[in-house]
Structure 1
Amino acid sequence: MKIKKEEITIQPGKSFRVFTPSLRNFFFWHYHPEFELVYVEAIAGIRHVGKNISSFVESDLVLIGSNVPHLNFDYGLQTEYKQIVVQLKEDFLSNLIVPTAEFTDIRTLFDKAYLGLSFYGKTKEQVVAKLKEMQSQNNFNSLLVLFEILNIMAGSSEVHQLNTEDTRIKMFMNDKIRMGTIYDYIHKNYDKKPDVNDIASITNLSTAAFCRYFKKQTNMTFTEFVNQYRITQAKTLLLKDHNVSEVGYAVGFESMSYFNKLFKSLVGQTPSSFKKTILVPAN
């Protein structure tokens, strides 16, 4: 489960590829020199790009820069989902974007992509419509649509930078701790009582050293990360119409008052309000 370099093959005569991967049962913590645009549509999920670990509801659209470690966005999803991924050839930037004066804004977009860029609002709606359009186009027309997508994102203010520092693979090369092992442990134990002492032992670190390492990698304590993971799983169960108490216990909380308080702190509304907002259509 250590970080893997993905070897991407793009067909001869093409500068990018569009496809719909399905890897939800496979933990793929990886990087590649190719830029990648990921769209995933699901009830709720977790994104991990660089050091950023956060959740999304309903859908997510993220541009990931060259050699930025990331986890497949569909990992662990227990509900139906749709995914569209665009991967650009390694020399796409240098051969097509950089030499062309009219692509200055797009070049700036690529320059920021190493931080991981999450798009929302009208920008996401427009880009998703174009992504779906690309899937039925021939090579030339799909390239034109791709430039439209890049132009939309380049001119948008509806974007959130997922990281505040450079997290490209060169920053991880000396890291001998396997984040995959930690993810696997949390995924299997989040509904029980994940013990920081256990995972520290598994990764061959003292508890204090593990806590320092984990905080450095994720900008969260182990407990904060486990709680965020639990709340993300809770969102999925709530949107499958389970009742609040049932959900709280199912994701590992023994106190419903604490579950409600933490959920509101992380999501901005109580579990019952969140459920009503999503499940009850607006008049």
Structure 2
Amino acid sequence: MKIQKEIIQFESGRSFKLFSPSMKDYFFWHYHPEIELVYVEASNGICHVGKNISEFKGGALLLIGSNVPHLNFDYNIQTECKQLVLQMREDFMQNIIFPVPEFYKIKQLLEHSYLGLSFHGETKKNVVEKLQLMFEKNSFDSFIDFIGILQTLADSEEVSELNTEDTRIKWFLNDKIRMGTIYDYIHENYDKNPDVNTIAKEVNLSTPAFCRYFKKQTNMTFTDFLNTYRINQAKLFLLQNLTVTEVCLNVGFESLSYFNKLFKKYIGETPSAFKKRHLIVE
């Protein structure tokens, strides 16, 4: 799986696009020159923006800069995952933000978005409410609301940088090893017995060199990433009301006790407790 350039179409006479796609059965590592504000409404998931791989709970509000590769936030997990996506025209900053001195803080925000920005707290709550209301408004009123949203984000201190360095597409294309090959392998084999030696050979690296490479790219060991992926899959299987034993086998663990131990380490509670807390038993 190579990084793909997504071609975004805009309506005539509109400087941004707001829509609500479904991410079920959708796995697409991509980039585009348009800056994107995205809200993912899900109980949990994994997001990958640039080099950052992180788990989110209770929804995620992200501002993703121009040409920053990102992966869909459910990692192809088979569950409903609602989202709101707002994409700005490629010339939005140059033609609309730059000429207006009052937009200075918004300009700084958008220029900073190449790191990937995650918003939380009241900022996330207020922005999501405004995005939802924009669907009911005409183009002019929704544009005014959009500028207000950008100002809210620019003024907020409830924000985290996802990356510490530039991870725009130029950086990725200069990298001889494509992370997509590794993600494909994990996605296809997480429920079997993924072998670090196998994937190292597939990308033409020795096992020690691959381990160093993977840690540098993701700030995680291959084992930690694989276990994070498995446990996130496990949570969603539990939410589908499968038994703990069924889930254990579905995500590739042979030992139920080890699965329970690992789940508690990552989530802070046992699979049974997680399932009981989230499902209403009739």
**Higher alpha-carbon deviation: 68-77 or 46-55:** 68-77
Task: Please list the CA deviations of residues 194-234 of structure 1 after superposition, one character each: whole Å capped at 9, or x if unmatched.
Answer: 00111122223222222222122111111111001011111
Give secondary structure in 2 for the equivalent of 1:33: coil
Q: Distance in 1 between matches of 2:232 and 2:26?
A: 19
Q: Which amino acid aligns with 2:89?
A: K
Q: Equivalent residue for 2:72? A: 72
Checking the alignment, whether the CA contact within 8 Å between 1:50 and 1:70 is kept in structure 2 is yes
Q: Which amino acid aligns with 1:137?
A: K
Q: TM-score when scaled to structure 2?
A: 0.90
Give the secondary structure class of the aligned counterpart of 2:18. strand
- 2:191 alignment counterpart: 191
Identity within the alignment, %: 63
Distance in structure 1 (CA, Å) of the matches to 2:104 and 2:279: 43
Task: Note if 1:34 corresponds to 2:40.
Answer: no
Equivalents in 2 of 1:23, 1:194: separation in Å? Answer: 26
Contact 1:20 1:84 in 2 (8 A): yes
Is the CA contact (8 Å cut-off) linking 1:27 and 1:180 kept in structure 2?
no
Number of the residue aligned with 2:265: 265
AA at the equivalent of 1:102: E
The code of the aligned residue for 1:121 comes to G
Aligned-partner Cα distance in 1 for 2:252–2:244: 13
How is 1:116-131 mapped onto 2 (pairs within 5 angstroms)?
116-131=116-131
Instruction: Provide, for residues 78-111 of structure 1, a one-character-per-residue CA deviation record: whole Å limited to 9, x for no partner.
Output: 1122121111111211222223222222222223
Between 1:203-212 and 1:47-56, the stretch displaced more is 203-212
Using the TM superposition, give the Cα deviation of residue 64 of structure 1 relative to its aligned residue in structure 2, in angstroms. 0.3
User: SS state of the match for residue 157, structure 1?
Assistant: coil
Distance in 2 separating the partners of 1:109 and 1:277? 38
Equivalent-residue separation in structure 1 for 2:91 and 2:198 (angstroms): 44
Which residue of the partner structure matches residue 232 of structure 1? Answer: 232
2-structure distance, mates of 1:212, 1:246: 34
Q: Label 1:75 to 1:223 Cα distance change in 2 as closer, same or farther (>3 A).
A: closer
CA shift in 2, pair 1:269/1:122, >3 Å: farther
Cα deviation, residue 251, structure 1: 1.4
Query: In 1, are the aligned partners of 2:24 and 2:79 still within 8 Å (CA)?
Result: no
User: Which position in structure 2 is the counterpart of 1:149?
Assistant: 149
Q: What CA distance in whole angstroms lies between the structure 1 residues aligned with 2:120 and 2:268? A: 18
Aligned length: 281
Q: Deviations over 1:243-283 (max 9, x none)?
A: 434323321223334333333333344434433444469xx
Aligned residue type for 2:82: K
Report deviation, 1:23.
4.6
Which residue of structure 2 lines up, in the alignment, with residue 93 of structure 1?
93
Contact 1:233/1:251, CA 8 A, preserved across alignment:
yes
* CA RMSD in angstroms, aligned pairs only: 2.1
Aligned pairs for 1:166-245 (under 5 A) are: 166-245=166-245
Q: Closer, same or farther in 2 for the Cα pair 1:273/1:119, shift >3 Å?
A: farther
Q: Secondary structure at the match of 2:55?
A: strand
Structure 2 regions of 5+ residues with no counterpart? Answer: none
**TM-score normalised according to structure 1 size:** 0.90
